[in-house]
Amino acid sequence: MHRALTLPLAALLVLLALLGGCATTTPGGVPIDTSHPSQAQDSRVLFLILHYTVGNYESALRTLTEGNVSAHYLVSDESPPRILRLVPEERRAWHSGASGWQRHRLLNSSSIGIEIVHPGFALTPPDAAGRRERVYLPFPEAQIDALIPLVRDIVKRHEIRPERILGHGEVTPSYKEDPGPTFPWRRLAELGITPPWPDQARVRERQAVYEAAVPEPEWFQRKLAQHGYPIDADAALEQPGQRRLLQRVLMNFQMRYRPARFDGEPDAESAALLDVLTQREAP
């Protein structure tokens, strides 16, 4: 009789402990005591990286589930758009390989990636010389409306800092430019999701000063590095590939903050925008 009572009692105690959150097991069955949580912890997720797929829904889904690239979420272009989770948030998705921001590198380990089904751009018919140009296409309103609550939810749960919500092109500027110049970064800023948009009056004021003399490329390189872009602040521009990298970084900056022109060339307005942004960030 005594023995018959013991087992159910033990089972009850284990159940109570589990309900109280004091004991659990690993997925492999190793018992773990979770009754002493540390104060010193935070999410492994520090960044949120936004992409467009270029390919259509079917091809993007195939690539992101069967290929050697992935993202945590895919926002479809159906109506209404659907949000698919392809990789659990606690696992690493492979969406921004050779990336960097400030002192962080290889951001797959510390980010969540969202792919938006969108072609990015269309090509114009060839001109007399056979040249075709990119025309970047707008994002459908419904898709952005679906994206925004997802971004808000992820950012809130992982306490991602607003300045760490970035485009793929910003963290991998040497060969990426998504989500491109039509992505509504300004709207995200006005909604308080990303940092406030650079104050227009201050930009105009600085721009007037820089119209007289546009700063040297080295100045742009330093400011872009200070803002966070993965470029060496003091690299010699004569170094192979450095001028091209600077042009690509500046192009990605312009796509976000001055999408009306994004040739990657230094100009007074870009200098003014960089000045206002980096002054705000100064300690």
Question: How far apart (Å, rounded) are the C-alpha atoms in residues 242 and 224?
Answer: 13
Q: Which of residues 178 and 267 has its CB atom nearest to Zn ion in the complex? A: 178
Question: How far apart (Å, rounded) are the C-alpha atoms in residues 125 and 73?
Answer: 34
Residue 93's CB is within 10 A of a number of other CB atoms, namely 22
Q: Does 178 bind Zn ion (CB under 5 A)?
A: yes
Q: C-alpha 135: how far from its chain's center?
A: 23
**Nearest-approach distance from CB 269 to Zn ion, in angstroms:** 27
- DSSP-assigned letter for residue 163: G
Q: Are 230 and 171 in contact (CB under 8 A)?
A: yes
Phi/psi of residue 85, nearest 5 degrees: -100, 120
Q: Which of residues 54 and 214 has its CB atom nearest to Zn ion in the complex? A: 54
**Nearest-approach distance from CB 95 to Zn ion, in angstroms:** 6
Q: Does 269 bind Zn ion (CB under 5 A)?
A: no
Q: Does 170 bind Zn ion (CB under 5 A)?
A: no
Q: Does 72 bind Zn ion (CB under 5 A)?
A: no
Residue 60, class by beta-carbon neighbours within 10 Å (0-12 exposed, 13-18 middle, 19+ buried)? buried
Which amino acid, 110?
Answer: S
**Nearest-approach distance from CB 130 to Zn ion, in angstroms:** 28
Q: Which of residues 99 and 207 has its CB atom nearest to Zn ion in the complex? A: 99
3-state secondary structure of 247: helix
**Nearest-approach distance from CB 120 to Zn ion, in angstroms:** 9
Q: Which long-range contacts (CB under 8 A, 24 or more apart) does 81-90 make?
A: 81/140, 81/142, 81/143, 81/146, 82/146, 83/146, 83/150, 89/45, 89/154, 89/158, 90/44
Tell me the window of 133-141, 166-174, 225-233, 274-282 that interacts with Zn ion (CB under 5 A).
166-174
Q: Which of residues 177 and 275 has its CB atom nearest to Zn ion in the complex? A: 177
Contacts to Zn ion from residues 51-70, by CB under 5 A? 51
Residue entry with tokens 């993202």: 71
Q: Which of residues 56 and 124 has its CB atom nearest to Zn ion in the complex? A: 56
# residues near Zn ion by CB under 5 A: 3
Tell me the window of 9-17, 75-83, 167-175, 229-237 that interacts with Zn ion (CB under 5 A).
167-175
**Nearest-approach distance from CB 168 to Zn ion, in angstroms:** 3
Q: Does 168 bind Zn ion (CB under 5 A)?
A: yes
Contacts to Zn ion from residues 16-55, by CB under 5 A? 51
Residue 115 is a catalytic residue: yes
DSSP string, 3-21: HHHHHHHHHHHHHHHHHTT
Q: Which of residues 168 and 223 has its CB atom nearest to Zn ion in the complex? A: 168
Binding site for Zn ion (CB under 5 A): 51, 168, 178
Residue numbers annotated as active site: 115
